[in-house]
Amino acid sequence: TQLLEQSPQFLSIQEGENLTVYCNSSSVFSSLQWYRQEPGEGPVLLVTVVTGGEVKKLKRLTFQFGDARKDSSLHITAAQPGDTGLYLCAGRAYNTNAGKSTFGDGTTLTVKP
Amino acid sequence: DTEVTQTPKHLVMGMTNKKSLKCEQHMGHRAMYWYKQKAKKPPELMFVYSYEKLSINESVPSRFSPECPNSSLLNLHLHALQPEDSALYLCASSTRDSGGTYNSPLHFGNGTRLTVT
């Protein structure tokens, strides 16, 4: 059973459209991170959310952490081709071995000009 | 530029070769990690070192041998690999909280693209 269910797995949209990526779990997380990975590079941290109900904004990206700290979402407004990449949510659940970050399956986003 | 440096960027090796992957960070992080990643998939944890001691081995085959010579360096020694071991190998580091937990985010290097022929 996947601890973090991420959806959708693939997303192809036109420049200017909005999109939301979801990350859901039945476990409670002490913190949750969102990363973006471009081809040939390692994942780069976008944001960490810690508090239930927290909302963080990073330019056109809005991140939410669920009140119960079991789910999170990433919303991109007016997507641009530069947003293309693999988006990963990851976190450490309270009931897992310390040191193990659980990753969602990732969302491959393609933004067409 | 990433603050975690991995070398080499690309490596092609035969199944009888012995090679090593290297990782270096100077952020003072005391937790270091090896991950394996296949195309369009999330990273899979292989090993975790905490204060230079191996704390997690995710049942990785013995043909992969990690080493942490000091707090800044992490190596992964490779021997007798199989073609299915071809992947992107990522090194990461993070701080450990004062309570000994790992709640801080991971800082990844750009990886070594390994091809086993």
Q: What is the DSSP string of chain A?
A: --SSEEE-SEEEEETT--EEEEEE-SS-EEEEEEEEE-TTS--EEEEEE-STT-EEEETTEEEEE-TTSSEEEEEESS--GGG-EEEEEEEEETTS-TT--EE---EEEEEE-
Each residue's pLDDT tens digit, A23-36: 999 888 888 999 99
* Per-residue pLDDT, B81: 95
| pLDDT higher than 70, residue B100 | no
- In chain B, the percentage of residues whose pLDDT exceeds 90 is 82
Provide the pLDDT for residue B97.
60
**pLDDT tens string B20-45:** 999 999 999 999 999 999 998 999 99
Name the more confident of B56 and B112. Answer: B112
Are the Cβ atoms of B106 and A90 closer than 8 angstroms? Answer: yes
- Residues of chain B with C-beta less than 8 angstroms from the C-beta of A48: 104-105
Distance from the B14 Cα atom to the nearest Cα atom in chain A, whole angstroms: 22
* pLDDT score at A55: 97
Q: Tell me the mean pLDDT per 10 residues along chain A, length 113.
A: 86 98 92 93 94 96 96 98 96 70 93 97
pLDDT at B40: 86
Asked if A100 lies within 8 A of B45 by C-beta distance, the reply is: yes
State the smallest CA–CA distance between residue A55 and chain B in angstroms: 18
User: Mean pLDDT over all residues of chain B?
Assistant: 92
Whether pLDDT at B101 is above 70: no
pLDDT at A97: 62
